[in-house]
Structure formats: structure tokens, C-alpha cells
Amino acid sequence: MDNLTLVRNKILPLEKLFPFLNIWRFKDQKIVFTNGCFDLLHLGHIDYLAKAADLGQKLIVGLNSDNSTSSLKGPTRPITDQISRAHLLASLLFVDAVVLFDESTPYELIKAIKPDVLVKGADYTIDKIIGSDVVLANGGEVKTIEYIAGYSTSAIEQKIRTS
């Protein structure tokens, strides 16, 4: 199988993710979930996702759709469309699956996946992390990861607009 097909095969609608979840669970592989817009992938994203992946054996990324990103970030976002963002994330060796969601939060996605570990940035407290109630009720863990200072899509966007 060629590399582009391998990347595309990691981008899944939720219903096609379930067989993989069953196999991973059968193999006792810890499933980690995180989510975000991941617009203009940068070093901060890579650092965050690599550290999230290190918390288990399989990393699933919930990716905000274009509509969801725009409603969260404003009318100028996303800069990069959801197909491009999904492919960039899926091309990372430590990302096992990318699932797009159109809602403003990944709550329903988290309820369906029931990850062993839910990860968000350290700018969140665990009690404010969407889906933490679901994960904790199922015996899972909720973790936060510090961001690398100076790396953000908003800062990159601002730099581009003022150049």
C-alpha cells in the first residue's frame, strides 16, 4: 500500500472507527483521545500530540470541522480546510486515527469512543475539560500537557496579516 493511502486510511468517520477500537481494546492497548482545530500545524502542535501519544498505545485526534472551527475561532478561520488539516494530522506517525466532528465540542465523540486517556492543554483544569466526566466514570484518566511558549496558530495568523 502506498503512503498516501496509509494516510487516508487513518481519516475515519466514527462508525468506521469502532472495529479498530475493538481490536485495540482486545489487545489491551491504551487509547488516548485529544481534539482541536489544528489549523496551520506548527511545532507546538507536534510537541503536544507527541506527548499525548506517549500516554498510551493508540492516539485518536478529534478534529473540528471547518464549520465548528469557524464558530469557535471566528469568520477568518480555519485558514486551512478540514481535508488538509485531517491529512496533515494523519500523516504523523504517532497519530492512529483522525475523526472529524461538526459540533462545538467533542462530547458526543468522547462518549462514543470512551478513551482510556483524555488529553487537553494545561490551560484547562480537569473539571473544565469536556468529556472528563465520561472518561473518569469509565475508569479512565484525564491529563493535561503544557504548551511550548511562543507557538500558536493565532500568533502565526497575526504575523502573516501584519507582514
Task: Answer for the pair 56, 28: CB distance below 8 angstroms, yes or no.
Answer: no
Is the pLDDT score of 113 beyond 70?
yes
37-93 pLDDT, tens per residue?
Answer: 999 899 999 999 999 999 999 999 999 999 999 999 999 889 999 999 999 999 999
Residue type, 63: L
Nearest CA to 36 out of 78, 92, 91 is that of: 78
pLDDT number for residue 94: 98
pLDDT number for residue 150: 77
pLDDT number for residue 115: 98
The Cα–Cα gap between 42 and 58 comes to 21
Least confident segment among 26-30, 43-47, 147-151: 147-151
The Cα–Cα gap between 160 and 163 comes to 5
pLDDT number for residue 72: 92
pLDDT number for residue 162: 78
Mean pLDDT of the chain: 94
The Cα–Cα gap between 91 and 106 comes to 22
Confidence bin at 157 (pLDDT 50/70/90): low
pLDDT number for residue 158: 73
The Cα–Cα gap between 140 and 129 comes to 14
The pTM assigned to this predicted structure is 0.94
